[in-house]
Chain A
Amino acid sequence: MTDEKTIEVPDEMRAQVALTNMADLVKGNLLDKPYNWGRRNSIWPMMFGLACCAIEMIATAASRYDMARFGMEVMRPSPRQSDMLIVSGTVTKKMVPQIVRLYNQMPEPKYVVAMGACASGGGPFKEGYNVVAGIDKYIPVDVYISGCPPTPQALLNGFMKLQEKIDSQSINRERWYDKEDPIEALPVPVLGPDIMDPRDYAMITKQAKA
């Protein structure tokens, strides 16, 4: 702690003020609290709807359920300005390259919410020939919300879970701003005879030879 004598703190403010220096602040995770408090209350979702769930997402943004209470009303059409990707609906093979691209374009720290049964695991359409059985096969997911579609209440509950997750994070542990070892972009799937994940290329070649 810094020497209290150098900075005058009036008596009546002593209960509210703590004096420290930057190094201690970071090391002692003291910065996390205000930083996370700011982040959790201003999560900007991407204006991105896939299917039925998007309608409930819009209903959540409207006046009755009012996402603005959580600081999430600022829907951004551009991935560059958004913190949260709500995968709201069935992910198809034709759409998944675009979703991965959008995810790659989002700045860190970024979060993905899989809204509803389809985005979480394929849902009722899982067996379809053009359906991806869950977006987590291609991008990492932070919160899964059940329901088909989830009610606005369930969606809000999912957002609160995400806020809890944000609360528990610390800039000491996360790699968002790591300049030496930056997080690499995810490989974008390619539409071939079926969808091809570049990470699976070796396996596809092996299967052909078998």
Chain B
Amino acid sequence: MTEELVVTLSALETRFPDVVKKDERKGYEGFLVDTKNLVEVATVIRDELGYDYLSSVTGVDYLEEELLEVVYHFYRSTGGKSLVLSVQVPRKKAVVPSLYDLFISADFQEREAWDLYGIKFEGHPDLRRILMWEGFEGFPMRKDYQEAFFVEDQKPFANRWPEGKVFRSEDENQFGKNVQYPKGFDKPKKWDPEEEDLLYAGLQELGKKDSGDLATDHVVVNMGPQHPSTHGVFRMAVVLDGERIVALKPVMGYLHRNHEKIGERNTYLHNIPFTDRLDYLSSMVNNHGYVLAVEKLLGKKGAVPERAEYIRVIMSELTRVSNHLWAIGFLLNDLGAFFTPSLYAIEERELILDIFEATTGARMMNNYFRFGGVARDFPPGVLEKLNSIVFERLPRKVDELDVYLTDNEVVASRTKGVGVLSPEEAIAHGVGGPVLRASGVPYDVRRADPYSIYDRFDFDVAVRYHGDCYDRYIIRIDEIRQSLRILQQALKDIPEGPVLLKNPYNIRVPEGESYGRVEAPKGELGFYIVSDGTANPYRYHVRAPSFVNLTALEKMCVGQLVADAVVVLGSIDIVLGEVDR
């Protein structure tokens, strides 16, 4: 236990004797709280102990103990380690008080826990399913839920190994598809879908509050899921008064591909390529977050050689540069400058992808990090090429982008003062990364809670203070410059040596829980892992930055014009693979 946590524990113990208990399970670091005291404890944590940033809320199903657990990860927005609270409720009557009133960042995450685990959050204003649709049968992340193509609880499946014979799940299913229906369901023609009704009813409520003196009719406009400006299959249901937005609800789940459920069936190593597909624009950073979480559990066994740490930092920062280039290019797309600025950004990104392809064998899905290092060293010639890109080409090209865009009148007039988010709101909504820092909160996980070897590098945390779309654009240029600084230092200092000491195919991870977080290009990316000592993670949760950042979308958009919603969304920079997982 760290010193900081000891202090916190004693503070909590004096304040709440018998209410807050140290989690005594092997490998757990948090505190257990009763449901009835949760709100009270959370208030004290926020107001007196300074843990004002609720990063992650997630459920865990302990089937054997007949318990459902909700795990909260709190941080101080000034930096430091986490404070973990857990609440346990019986599986049959899973009701937990909602923390929505204290931390708005709990909004979507509690809805997700309701959707996937069936944990009811009392006091949540809009507890609907978020990733699946209303009317879906069952709570899929519960341990006793079995998919239509269910084979076994854990991989590798015996029927495909060791003979490796061909097995098609379709042949086993009577519909030949990935579907199953509850027993006795025989009224498909009379089925009445209800999701939209609930959504629109909630929107009407929100819209009512805002009507002024002149009674005008409101119009509901659905943007997406097939819409060129939503960066994938994202949908916004918007209530308009004229051209002004009076209410907005994001609708997601159109790319919910069950990352967590599949991740719990996989072995630990299996999961690395799956993390690539979370935020598919920055797969290296996803790898990094995941291996950090597992290495935390592994302890000494997960020690990383020096050269591998440098390679990890180099790859992560290259990813950040390429991601921000893409984000800037497509923000301009959303502003109406169709594709030309993107072409400039993609040109530079391709150079970085070439480095990735030469090193890892793939352009996007790199599958490069391993527990205790990286998969392979740079091939000959790549470091030279990297040097020329990092020291000469990219700094020049970033300046070029800066010259073209930053003082551009159209960019300024479309983005300045649009979608403003104040620092207090940003922290309460739990947003992270560039969105948080553009609101004037200098919070960067690389500095606030350093991981890997980021404490060795000299770089500034980029901050901007207006919190509008313009600052969210320009902070990405700042961050590219800082990333280039880190890259230049790392490339100068990179030592010789091995990159991976041992490549275990199937590792055994000691029991316990761990939360590994990194500063992904889009914000704080966290992996929550519970290990029960077997070859597969017992619980595998991804705290996706894009997903939580979207919590603030409504706040930023209400009162703006409908055309600005597109710009606000572009300035948050979401990736649907990560939002929906």
Contacts and interface: CB of A to CB of B under 8 A. Distances in A.
A5 interface: no
Given A58-B346, A63-B343, A193-B137, A51 B364 contact: no
11 contacts: A52-B365, A92-B580, A94-B132, A125-B262, A127-B262, A127-B265, A128-B178, A128-B261, A130-B253, A191-B195, A203-B175
B181 A207 contact: yes
Interface string A174-195: 0000000000000000111111
Interface residues of B, number: 66
Interface string A73-106: 0000100000000000110111100100010000
A47 interface: yes
Interface of B: 131-133, 135-137, 140, 145, 147-151, 169-170, 174-186, 188-189, 191, 193, 195, 225-228, 232-233, 253-259, 261-262, 265, 273-274, 277, 280-281, 339, 342-343, 346-347, 350, 363-365, 576-577, 580
A160 interface: no
Given A52-B577, A204-B181, A190 B256 contact: no
A121 to B, nearest CB: 9
Contacts of B185: 192-193, 204, 208
A92 B183 contact: no
B346 to A, nearest CB: 4
B269 to A, nearest CB: 14
B401 to A, nearest CB: 16
Contact of A194 (B180, B186, B259): B180
Contacts of A193: 135-137, 181-182, 185
A130 B181 contact: no
Contact of A133 (B145, B170, B274): B170
Nearest to B232: A49
A59 interface: yes
Most buried by B among A56, A61, A204, A209: A204
B174 to A, nearest CB: 7
A64 B174 contact: no
A139 interface: no
B365 A208 contact: no
A17 B209 CA distance: 73
Most buried by A among B145, B181, B576: B181
Interface of A: 47-52, 54-56, 58-59, 61-64, 77, 89-90, 92-95, 98, 102, 118, 122, 124-133, 137, 148-149, 151, 190-198, 200-201, 203-205, 207-209
A104 to B, nearest CB: 13
Given A52-B365, A58-B346, A124-B273, A129 B148 contact: yes
B177 A92 contact: no
Interchain residue pairs A-B with the least CB separation, the first 7: A128-B258, A208-B186, A193-B137, A52-B280, A125-B257, A62-B346, A129-B147
Most buried by A among B176, B178, B183: B178
Given A55-B281, A128-B261, A130-B253, 13 more contacts: A48-B226, A56-B363, A94-B253, A95-B255, A130-B140, A137-B176, A192-B181, A193-B136, A200-B179, A200-B188, A201-B188, A201-B189, A208-B183
A209 B132 CA distance: 27
Given A51-B232, A94-B132, A208-B183, A64 B178 contact: no
Contact of B364 (A56, A102, A203, A208): A56
A132 B364 contact: no
A3 B140 CA distance: 75
Contact of B177 (A50, A58, A95, A133): A133
B189 A77 contact: no
A149 B365 contact: yes
Contacts of A125: 257-259, 262
Contacts of A49: 232-233
A130 B364 contact: no
A51 to B, nearest CB: 6
B364 A55 contact: yes
Nearest to B353: A59
A112 to B, nearest CB: 15
Given A51-B280, A191-B193, A193-B137, A102 B226 contact: yes
A191 B258 contact: no
Contact of A92 (B176, B257, B347): B257
Contacts of A209: 186
Contact of B256 (A47, A58, A130, A148): A130
A92 B254 contact: yes
Contacts of B170: 133
Contacts of B274: 124
Nearest to B195: A191
A155 B365 CA distance: 16
A122 B137 CA distance: 21
Given A63-B343, A122-B178, A127 B147 contact: yes
Contacts of A51: 232, 255, 257, 277, 280, 576-577
Given A131-B258, A208-B185, A126 B137 contact: no
Contacts of A129: 140, 145, 147-148, 178, 258, 261
Most buried by A among B182, B188, B259: B188
Contacts of A118: 257
Contacts of B179: 194-196, 200
A48 B229 CA distance: 10
Nearest to B262: A128
A124 B277 contact: yes
Contacts of A149: 364-365
B355 to A, nearest CB: 15
B188 A196 contact: yes
B199 to A, nearest CB: 13
Contacts of A133: 149, 169-170, 177-178
Contacts of B227: 77
Contacts of B140: 129-130
Given A149-B365, A204-B181, A204-B188, A64 B347 contact: yes
A23 B280 CA distance: 54
B277 A52 contact: yes
A126 to B, nearest CB: 7
A148 B274 CA distance: 11
B347 A63 contact: yes
B346 A90 contact: no
A93 to B, nearest CB: 8
B254 A127 contact: no
A130 B273 contact: no
Nearest to B281: A55
B85 to A, nearest CB: 29
Contacts of B339: 61
A122 B148 CA distance: 13
A62 B193 CA distance: 41
A89 to B, nearest CB: 7
B188 A54 contact: no
A126 B178 contact: yes
Most buried by A among B176, B227, B364: B364
A136 to B, nearest CB: 11
A140 B580 CA distance: 27
